[in-house]
Amino acid sequence: METVGKLTGASRTLDGKRINLTFEVDGSSADQVEKIMAQDKLRIRAVKWREKRSIDANNYLWELLSQMAPVLHTTKEELYLRELQEYGVFIYLPGTDEDMKKLSEVFRIVINRGETTLTTPSGKEMRLNQLQCYKGSSKYDTLEMSRLIDGVVEDAKELGIDTMTPEEIRQMKERWHL
């Protein structure tokens, strides 16, 4: 079951070893709630609500990339990777060469930024690679996608490619609930 709701209460059990949580969800979830009530054990995950970006955001991104790629003598896929590196979301992770291979299966781009020395809590020094890992735009929330599209729009304008007007872009972002 996945739904939108709000945590409305939390209390400890009498023995103090467990916590009871109370969530308020829309009444349309009643059938789903009844089905999971019969389960002995559940995997529970509660995360902050964020609007998912709309499909038109992705379509607009790829439309711009398709127009820009021939001007830059590249493919839209190669241009996508360049734009991700310019405007995308990344994290740094320490790792070995083997870790880099594994991370490449999870992240869209993994760049080795060179060796770094880390000190463990026990004082042992470890030499590892500093890996810059970019997630793909399919994993972006609306704010991250908005930043990426803003950057791509600016690049398209510099190439003389027509883009949506600022008002059209503002309206599209409103549909993404930004």
Same structural domain, 74 and 33: no
**Calpha distance 30→25 (Å, rounded):** 9
Same structural domain, 85 and 158: yes
Same structural domain, 45 and 67: no
Same structural domain, 80 and 33: no
Same structural domain, 90 and 139: yes
Same structural domain, 96 and 128: yes
What's the burial of 110, exposed, middle or buried (CB within 10 Å: 0-12/13-18/19+)?
A: buried
Same structural domain, 165 and 80: yes
* Structure-block tokens of residue 36: 């999971």
Check the CA dihedral 74-80-81-84 and report its sign: positive
Model pLDDT, residue 15: 92
String of DSSP letters for 75-122: -HHHHHHHHHHHH--EEEEEE-HHHHHHHTTTSSEEEEEEEEEEE-TT
Contacts of 25 (CB under 8 A, 6+ apart): 3, 4, 5, 33
DSSP 15: T
Same structural domain, 123 and 63: yes
Same structural domain, 98 and 169: yes
Same structural domain, 125 and 37: no
Same structural domain, 59 and 102: yes
Model pLDDT, residue 50: 60
Number of domains in the chain: 2
Domain boundaries, position 40: 1-49
Same structural domain, 89 and 120: yes
**Cβ atoms < 10 Å from Cβ of 61:** 21
Tokens 């996508």 sit on residue? 80
Per residue in 91-133, pLDDT tens?
Answer: 999 999 899 999 999 999 999 999 999 998 999 999 999 999 9
pLDDT above 70 (res 51)? no
The per-residue pLDDT of the chain, averaged, comes to 89
Model pLDDT, residue 55: 62
Angstrom distances, CA of residue 168 to CA of 89, 158, 175:
25, 19, 11
